[in-house]
Amino acid sequence: MKCVICGIEADFIEERIDLGWTPYFYEAQIEHGPACPECSEVLLEMDSFGEMGLKERYRRKINYKETFVDKASMKGIFIQIAIQRTMQSILN
């Protein structure tokens, strides 16, 4: 998977989280993602519901590289990594 905005790729899902990738964000109630740290920084902001969303002035201007289809499994992966880290810190 790669950034849906600029198309940059990262090798590992875990690496993406560490480097500040945004797993998903909204544009007009439609979910997109993931977005790389650079795009997140410039184009995204936290909305009033606590979700990442595209900044007002960029709406309808992004030509997405990929359509975000598998939201459930993506969230599952992030949760799984969080659990693994918790387990590791307990064991260490």
CB-CB contact of 2 with 66 (8 Å): yes
Length of the chain: 92
**Shortest spacing between CB 73 and Zn ion, in angstroms:** 21
Quickly count: other Cβ atoms within 10 Å of residue 91's Cβ. 6
Smallest distance, Å, CB 21 to Zn ion? Answer: 9
Distance of closest approach, residue 37 Cβ to Zn ion, in angstroms: 8
Site for Zn ion in 24-43 (CB under 5 A): 36, 39
| Residues 61-80, interacting with Zn ion (CB under 5 A) | none
Nearer to Zn ion, 74 or 89 (CB): 74
CB 22 within 8 A of CB 54: no
CA distance 47 to 18: 22
Cβ closest to Zn ion, residue 61 vs residue 90: 61
Residue given tokens 């740290």 in the structure block: 37
Provide the binding-site residues for Zn ion, judged by CB under 5 A: 3, 5-6, 36, 39
